[in-house]
């Protein structure tokens, strides 16, 4: 089935009402972002000395990293386990990871009080700092992702370098360079692919270790020494649902037929992953006897129950059902629930669970913080759209690539 599929730039008109809406959201976010740089963090955010971290860390960074896990999980499946049939999803997942991590890096930067010192960790090391390790891993992984993306760029331009005017005479040289680059990358790519998976395992788990040092400041429902394991497991289980969700959304938006067969095969792998994650989460709760906190009725207990029931139990049941995992709609909804669950988990860990010993007011994100976060998500979707229209990322039926005009109906 995948034989006659080939990654192809999608020909489609760029602006649709949806795109215009997203652009407005992105612009709104950028306005507030400008405010942050002009007037400081305090002016735009609701952060204070009791609540040093808000949604820019909890959502943009922590959840952003988790939701970009599709990149390394599909790389592991497609390249390391060498499952040919999944190659069609590797590239979209890679692109999402690349964009996702780029925005994670930007989010870290805007949240830093002294953003212009973002390079300091490169030369000022602190081996005991979990944040240092996360920072380094994310930085190297981002670099690896760009390298993994390079072959797509060379593929797009080899034989098609066509600079205008005076630059024309460089065309040949650039083409040659691209060919050499492509050949070199081809031979060494396995090094980067494995490195990407290792780095991902490292920082996905270390992101969980991050909050352990907060000790009793963190609600016992979430504070556990196995946090790194839980973070890794949840990241691994959200990888495929992210790919499924994106693949279906891309198909819808460009009017293509979803790869239901491949996606439901992917979906069949989600249930066991979610199951393991759930059992560790429940097991941890039983061993540490934190279920007593569930008898209290407060934000923490409610959020915890939603996270586990809506974000793990229900989608687990859905992925186990044959009918649901055969239908794109069913897969889509189940995937959205898993994504919601992991997103909520990161928000819970970094924001809801964090209760400083001296609290004068509670933290709720400001309009500015929300605007920037929403704006970044909108930007990411827009970039994704631009890049799949420029580069061969989404696989289309081979024959139709010659006559794209007819096989793609506009939406």
Partner 1 sequence: MAHQTRRDFLKTAAIAGATLTGISSNPTKAAQQNVLSENRMGVLVDTTVCIGCRKCEWACKTAHNLPTQPLESYDDKSVFKSMRRPNDKELTVINEYPARSWDDYPTTVKVQCMHCDKPACVSACIVGAFSKVENGSVIWNGDKCIGCRYCMVACPFQIPAFEFEKALKPDIKKCDFCFDRTKEGKLPACVEICPNEVLTYGPREELVRVAHQKIQLYPKRYINYIYGENEVGGTSWMYLANRHFKELQFPALGGSPAPGVSEAIQHGIFAYFVPPIALYALLGGVMWINKNRKPSDSDSEGRHE
Cβ neighbours around 165 below 10 Å, total:
6
Residue whose entry in the numeric block shows the structure tokens 């992917």: 266
364 touches partner 1 (CB under 8 A) = no
Structural contact between residues 318 and 337, judged by C-beta atoms closer than 8 angstroms: yes
Residue 158 burial by Cβ neighbours in a 10 Å radius (0-12, 13-18, 19+): middle
Place of tokens 């390298």: 147
Span 44-103, contacts to partner 1 by CB under 8 A: 45, 47-50, 52-53, 76, 78-82, 84, 87, 90-91
Q: Applying CB under 8 A, which part among 8-16, 126-134, 156-164, 283-291 lies near partner 1?
A: 126-134
Q: Shortest gap between Cβ of 295 and partner 1 (angstroms)?
A: 22
Q: Does 127 engage in binding with partner 1 (CB under 8 A)?
A: yes
User: Given the structure tokens 């506009």, which residue do they identify?
Assistant: 410
CB of 101 to partner 1, least distance (A): 18
Among 4, 21, 34, 42, binds partner 1 (CB under 8 A): 42
User: Smallest gap, in angstroms, from Cβ of residue 194 to partner 1?
Assistant: 5
The distance of closest approach from Cβ of residue 406 to partner 1 in the complex, given in angstroms and rounded to an integer, is 26
Give the span between the Cα atoms of 235 and 63, in whole angstroms: 9
Instruction: Map the footprint of partner 1 across residues 20-39, applying CB under 8 A.
Output: 37-39
Say how many residues touch partner 1, by CB under 8 A. Answer: 76
Question: Which phi-psi region, left, alpha or beta, contains residue 82 (left: φ > 0; alpha: ψ -120 to 50)?
Answer: left
Member of 27, 122, 173, 402 binding partner 1 (CB under 8 A)? 122
Residue list 335-354, contact with partner 1 (CB under 8 A): 354
| Out of 34, 43, 309, 399, the residue judged to bind partner 1 by CB under 8 A | 43
User: In this complex, which beta carbon is closest to partner 1, that of residue 224 or of residue 325?
Assistant: 224
Binding of partner 1 by 271 (CB under 8 A) = no
| Cβ-proximal residues to 385 (8 Å cutoff; 6+ apart), any chain | 14, 19, 253
Terminal CA-to-CA distance of the chain, rounded, Å? 26
Tokens found for residue 82:
């060498």
The distance of closest approach from Cβ of residue 386 to partner 1 in the complex, given in angstroms and rounded to an integer, is: 22
CA distances from 70 to 23, 74, 99, 196, 226 (A): 25, 6, 12, 12, 22
Q: What is the DSSP string of 287-315?
A: HTTGGGGGGS-SHHHHHHHHHHIIIIIHH
Stretch that binds partner 1, among 109-117, 299-307, 341-349, 373-381 (CB under 8 A): 109-117
361 contacts partner 1 (rule: CB under 8 A): no
By CB under 8 A, the residues from 224 to 253 that bind partner 1 are 225, 228
State the minimum distance, in angstroms, from the CB of residue 383 to partner 1. 21
**Does the protein bind partner 1 through residue 146 (CB under 8 A)?**
no
Three-state DSSP at 354 gives strand
How many residues make up the chain in this entry?
Answer: 411
Cβ 141 to partner 1, closest distance in Å? Answer: 12
Contacts with partner 1 in 197-216 (CB under 8 A)?
A: 197-198, 201-202, 205-206, 209-216
């Amino acid at each position: 089935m995948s034989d006659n599929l080939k990654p192809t730039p999608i020909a489609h008109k760029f602006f649709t009402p949806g795109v215009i809406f997203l652009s407005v959201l992105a612009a709104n976010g950028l306005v507030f972002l400008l405010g942050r740089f002009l007037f400081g963090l305090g002016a735009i955010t609701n952060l204070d000395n009791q609540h040093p971290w808000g949604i820019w860390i909890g959502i943009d960074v922590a959840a952003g990293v988790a939701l970009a896990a599709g990149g390394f999980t599909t790389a592991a499946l497609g390249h390391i386990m060498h499952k040919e049939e999944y190659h069609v999803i590797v590239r979209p997942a890679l692109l999402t990871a690349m964009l996702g991590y780029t925005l994670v890096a930007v989010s870290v930067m805007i949240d830093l009080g002294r953003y212009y010192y973002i390079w300091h960790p490169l030369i000022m090391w602190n081996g005991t700092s979990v944040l240092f390790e996360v920072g380094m891993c994310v930085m190297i992984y981002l670099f690896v992702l760009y390298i993994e993306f390079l072959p797509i760029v060379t593929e797009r331009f080899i034989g098609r370098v066509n600079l205008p005017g005076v630059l024309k005479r460089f065309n040949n040289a650039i083409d040659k360079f691209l060919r050499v680059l492509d050949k070199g990358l081809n031979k060494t790519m396995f090094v980067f692919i494995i490195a990407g998976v290792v780095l991902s395992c490292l920082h996905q788990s270390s992101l969980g270790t991050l909050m352990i040092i907060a000790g009793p400041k963190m609600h016992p429902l979430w504070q556990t020494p196995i946090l790194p394991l839980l973070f890794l497991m949840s990241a691994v289980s959200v990888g495929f649902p992210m790919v499924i969700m994106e693949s279906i959304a891309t198909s819808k938006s460009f009017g293509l037929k979803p790869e239901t067969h491949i996606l439901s095969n992917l979906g069949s792998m989600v249930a066991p992953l979610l199951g393991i994650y759930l059992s560790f989460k429940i097991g941890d709760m039983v061993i540490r006897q934190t279920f007593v906190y569930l008898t209290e009725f407060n934000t923490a207990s409610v959020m915890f129950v939603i996270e586990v029931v809506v974000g793990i139990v229900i989608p687990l049941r859905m992925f186990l059902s044959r009918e649901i995992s055969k239908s794109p709609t069913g897969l889509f909804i189940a995937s959205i629930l898993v994504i919601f669950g992991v997103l909520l988990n990161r928000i819970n860990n970094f924001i809801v669970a964090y209760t400083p010993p001296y609290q004068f007011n509670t933290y709720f994100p400001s309009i500015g913080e929300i605007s920037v976060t929403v704006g970044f998500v909108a930007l990411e979707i827009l970039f994704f759209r631009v890049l799949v229209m420029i580069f061969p990322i989404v696989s289309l039926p081979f024959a139709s690539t010659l006559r794209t005009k007819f096989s793609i109906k506009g939406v």
